[in-house]
C-alpha cells in the first residue's frame, strides 16, 4: 500500500510540476533562439502558472520592442537614403561600413565603397587627417576635398560615440560645392 501511495504521489508530482516545467524550459529555449511568437503553457500549480504567465508577458513585450526597433531601423534607412548629401560611416579602423546612395554618386565611383578608406577613394590627405583629428579630439572637422573628376566636396567629419561615451565610429557627410565654387570664380572674374 505504501509503495502504491508513493508511486501515485510521484506520478502526481511529475504531472503537476515536472511536466509543466519541462514544457516551459523547452519553450524558453525556443524563445532564446529567436522565436518571439513562442508562448508558454499556463498550467500546473499556482506558482508554475504564474511563471508561465510572466514569461508570456515578457515574450509579448520583447516582441513589441523588436518590432519597434525594426521599424525605427527602417525609418532611419529611409531618411539616410533620401538625403542628397553623401553619408559614410567609418568603423574603428577608418573603413567605410555604411553609406547612402548619394555617396557613390558624389564620389563618381561605380565601385563598392564598403571596406574602403576615404583616402583610397578620394586620395585626399586632408580628409584622412580630418578623420584622424575627429577621432582624437572628438570635435567636428570640416575640410574641402577636390576630386580628380573636377568636383569639389566639403566633408563634415564628426565622431560617433557609443553608449559608454567612447569613440565608436566617425560619420562623414559630403556636400558638393562644385557649382558654388564655379559661381564664385565667375563672380571674381
Q: What are the strands, taking DSSP E only, across the chain?
A: 86-90, 96-99, 141-146, 152-161, 167-176
Q: What percent of the chain has pLDDT over 70?
A: 95
Task: Give residue 44's pLDDT.
Answer: 63
pLDDT exceeds 90 at position 29 = no
Residue 172 has what pLDDT?
A: 93
pLDDT at 43: 66
pLDDT band at 24 (very low <50, low <70, confident <90, very high): confident
pLDDT given at position 7: 83
Rounded to two decimals, the pTM is 0.66
Q: Report pLDDT digits (tens) over 71-128.
A: 999 998 899 888 889 999 999 888 999 899 888 888 877 778 898 888 888 888 888 8
Cβ distance 114 to 96 under 8 Å? yes
Mean of all residue pLDDT scores within the chain: 85
Q: Write b or e for each residue in 104-115: b if 16 or more Cβ atoms lie within 10 A of its Cβ, otherwise e.
A: bebbeeeeebee
Check residue 88 and give its pLDDT: 92
**CA dist., res. 13 & res. 50, Å (int):** 18
Grid coordinates representing 71 are 521599424
Contact 78, 163 (CB under 8 A): no
What pLDDT digit, counting tens, does each position of 50-74 carry? 888 888 888 889 889 999 999 999 9
Query: What average pLDDT score do residues 10-18 get?
Result: 72
pLDDT, residue 90, reads 92
The reported pLDDT for the residue numbered 53 is 84
**N-to-C CA span, the chain:** 113
Query: Quick one: pLDDT band at residue 34, thresholds 50, 70, 90?
Result: confident
Amino acid at each position: 500500500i505504501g509503495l502504491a501511495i508513493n508511486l501515485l504521489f510521484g506520478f502526481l508530482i511529475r504531472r503537476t510540476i515536472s511536466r509543466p516545467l519541462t514544457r516551459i524550459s523547452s519553450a524558453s529555449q525556443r524563445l532564446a533562439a529567436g522565436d518571439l511568437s513562442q508562448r508558454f503553457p499556463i498550467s500546473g500549480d499556482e506558482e508554475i502558472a504564474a511563471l508561465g504567465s510572466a514569461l508570456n508577458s515578457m515574450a509579448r513585450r520583447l516582441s513589441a520592442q523588436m518590432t519597434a526597433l525594426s521599424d525605427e531601423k527602417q525609418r532611419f534607412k529611409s531618411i539616410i537614403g533620401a538625403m542628397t548629401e553623401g553619408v559614410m560611416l567609418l568603423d574603428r579602423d577608418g573603413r567605410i561600413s555604411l553609406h547612402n546612395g548619394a555617396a557613390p554618386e558624389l564620389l563618381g565611383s561605380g565601385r563598392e565603397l564598403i571596406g574602403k578608406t576615404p583616402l583610397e577613394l578620394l586620395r585626399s590627405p586632408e580628409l584622412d587627417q580630418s578623420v584622424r583629428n575627429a577621432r582624437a579630439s572628438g570635435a567636428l572637422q570640416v575640410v574641402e576635398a577636390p576630386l580628380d573628376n573636377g568636383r569639389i566636396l566639403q566633408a563634415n567629419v564628426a565622431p560617433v560615440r557609443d553608449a559608454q561615451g567612447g569613440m565608436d565610429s566617425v560619420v562623414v557627410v559630403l556636400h558638393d560645392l562644385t557649382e558654388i565654387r564655379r559661381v564664385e570664380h565667375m563672380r571674381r572674374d
